[in-house]
């Protein structure tokens, strides 16, 4: 398997060349919309995504080779959307109360993307050797419809990126000092391509210098709303082998400190202060634009500020995770399933900033964890974050009063005191080691399970656990009711 990474390269082409490339965008967008409509119609009719769409009769000012690139981009985008629907379908089924046999059939159908397979008779053939009951297919279609409402379908008519393959965007290595690479792009004028000079930077060259790396024979061209044209080249590299024999480190996400690790490290301590500084600039600017009747998206200054915020979140996330990945003794990261909505509410940020951070942060973390897995072999284990900030990693007691302040955690049962974020990271690590990740269980069920474990470990009645959880009881020493063997059966993370 290979990994594809794209890099934006600076271009020194003149404005005339950029204008000829940008002139392709309106026709490209129209073609993407048409290809998307035909692909969706074929999918819901036959149950399968087409491998190709014939565009020979489209016309519209583009050559046949350009239409081929448009069709390939539209089908790839729809295939990516179906992959997101598959993940959401799996989560819905896993959290349901359906029988094990029904879930097994649904998972198999979901993996085959056969939600709209033709239904004839009492059983529906999914592959040449297996079939499922027709009523399961009807249930799968209802679940898939629900999943589609949660996964936003892209409108390719508004896409501003053109993915051009080697037929219309040939990448050539430069033999002169004027540029490092040249991209020969076909334009609206038949037989009159433009040559775009590109200049490589260190990150691109380092990626290209890795063993077995190769430069992709296509170019991504993006035309911004203000007419700025940017170019990206892609590099194929092999997937790194998973790290073996190393230790697992728990990671807890936050705002005052971006992330804390179970081995006691705090990364990104100035994250919240920087976000508040950005918020102090964002709110007055948005209010001034609204008073003057200017849409926020039409303001170049507002778009630039939002882009700065997103880049800061991405760069800070990458920097902190790179510090962890630099330790070769770490083979796995135990992380909480990320949901920044609850954290940003505690940061005293504006609603607009909270929404921006939620979207940008989630995307940055997921992209970086995937990148570390593919590039360095660092594995990731997800656990449910419910009550990790309230659970003591020493004795297992869960109570809202355990967390005294944003930074201080002191258990009301055993008295253990630790930095709150580090304690949360250790709790996440403990859950990953117990193979009890609880990804598909609601918060109430998890709290009941934690109380049951605490009761069994320390020999308390369930009523005593409930009383400690619901009342402000003073700190007491652990009751010596459990034997040493029982206590050691629940591993602690120091």
What are φ and ψ of residue 383, in 5° steps? Answer: -130, 160
Q: What is the pLDDT of residue 348?
A: 72
pLDDT in tens, 250-281: 999 888 888 999 999 999 988 888 999 999 99
Rounded-to-integer distance, Cα 354 and Cα 338, Å: 15
In this prediction the pTM is 0.76
Q: Residue 228: pLDDT band by 50, 70, 90 thresholds?
A: very high
Q: What is the pLDDT of residue 480?
A: 46
> Quick one: which of 349, 264, 284 has its CA closest to 313?
349
According to DSSP, the residues that pair with 259 across neighbouring strands are 253, 267
Q: What is the pLDDT of residue 340?
A: 62
Q: What share of the chain in percent tops pLDDT 70?
A: 91
DSSP string spanning 331-356?
EEEEEEPP-THHHHHTTT--HHHHHH
> Is residue 96's pLDDT more than 50?
yes
Q: What is the pLDDT of residue 489?
A: 42
Going along 417-487, which residue ranges are E strands?
417-419
> Is residue 425's pLDDT more than 50?
yes
pLDDT in tens, 40-76: 999 988 888 898 899 888 888 899 999 999 999 999 9
Q: What is the pLDDT of residue 81?
A: 94
> Is residue 342's pLDDT more than 90?
no
Q: What is the pLDDT of residue 490?
A: 39
Mean pLDDT, all residues of the chain: 86
Tell me if 105 sits within 8 A of 137, measured CB to CB: no
> Is residue 488's pLDDT more than 60?
no
> Quick one: which of 191, 233, 228, 182 has its CA closest to 22?
228
pLDDT mean over 453-475: 70
pLDDT mean over 145-160: 92
pLDDT in tens, 361-376: 888 999 999 999 999 9
Q: What is the pLDDT of residue 470?
A: 64
Q: Strand 229-238 to strand 214-223: parallel, antiparallel, or no bridges (unpaired)?
A: antiparallel
Q: Residue 385: pLDDT band by 50, 70, 90 thresholds?
A: confident
Which pair of tokens denotes residue 318?
A: 């990458």
Tell me if 180 sits within 8 A of 199, measured CB to CB: yes
Looking at per-residue confidence, does 235 or 472 come out higher?
235
Half-sphere exposure of 45 (CA within 13 A, CB side): 7
């Amino acid at each position: 398997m290979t990994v594809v990474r794209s890099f934006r390269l600076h271009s020194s082409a003149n404005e005339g060349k950029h204008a000829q490339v940008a002139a392709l965008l309106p026709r490209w967008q129209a073609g993407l919309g048409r290809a998307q409509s035909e692909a969706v119609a074929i999918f819901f009719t036959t149950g399968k995504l087409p491998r190709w769409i014939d565009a020979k009769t489209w016309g519209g000012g583009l050559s046949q080779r350009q239409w081929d690139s448009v069709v390939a981009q539209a089908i790839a985008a729809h295939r990516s959307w179906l992959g997101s629907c598959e993940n959401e379908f799996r989560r819905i089924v896993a959290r349901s109360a359906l029988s094990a046999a029904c879930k097994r059939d649904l998972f198999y159908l979901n993996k085959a993307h056969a939600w709209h397979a033709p239904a004839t008779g009492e059983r529906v053939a999914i592959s040449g050797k297996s079939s499922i009951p027709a009523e399961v297919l009807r249930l799968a279609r209802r679940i898939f419809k629900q999943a589609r409402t949660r996964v936003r379908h892209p409108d390719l008519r508004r896409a501003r990126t053109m993915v051009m393959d080697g037929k219309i965007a040939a990448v050539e290595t430069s033999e002169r000092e004027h540029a490092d690479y040249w991209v020969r792009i076909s334009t609206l004028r038949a037989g009159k391509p433009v040559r775009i000079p590109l200049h490589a930077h260190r990150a691109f060259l380092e990626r290209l210098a890795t063993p077995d790396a190769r430069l992709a024979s296509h170019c991504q061209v993006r035309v911004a709303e203000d007419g700025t044209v940017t170019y990206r080249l892609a590099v194929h590299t092999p997937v790194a082998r998973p790290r073996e024999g190393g230790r697992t480190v728990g990671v807890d996400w936050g705002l005052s400190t971006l992330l804390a690790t179970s081995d006691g490290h705090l990364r990104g301590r100035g994250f919240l202060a920087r976000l508040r500084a950005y918020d102090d600039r964002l709110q007055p600017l948005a209010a001034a634009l609204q008073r003057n009747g200017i849409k926020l998206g039409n303001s170049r200054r507002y778009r630039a500020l939002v882009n700065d915020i997103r880049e800061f979140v991405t760069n800070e996330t990458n920097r902190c995770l790179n510090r962890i990945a630099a330790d070769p003794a770490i083979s796995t990261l135990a992380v909480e399933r990320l949901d920044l909505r609850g954290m940003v509410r505690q940061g005293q940020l504006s609603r607009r900033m909270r929404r921006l951070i939620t979207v940008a942060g989630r995307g940055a973390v997921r992209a970086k964890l995937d990148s570390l897995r593919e590039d360095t072999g660092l594995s990731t284990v997800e656990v449910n974050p419910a009550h990790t900030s309230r659970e003591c990693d020493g004795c297992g007691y869960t109570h809202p009063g355990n967390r005294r302040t944003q930074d201080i955690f002191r258990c009301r049962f055993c008295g253990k005191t630790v930095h709150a974020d580090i304690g949360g990271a250790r709790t996440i690590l403990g859950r990953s080691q117990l193979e009890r990740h609880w990804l598909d269980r609601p918060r109430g069920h998890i709290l009941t399970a934690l109380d049951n474990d605490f009761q069994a470990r320390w020999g308390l009645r369930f009523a005593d656990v409930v009383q400690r959880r619901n009342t402000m009881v003073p700190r007491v020493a652990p009751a010596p009711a459990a034997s040493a063997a029982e206590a050691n059966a629940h591993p602690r993370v120091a």
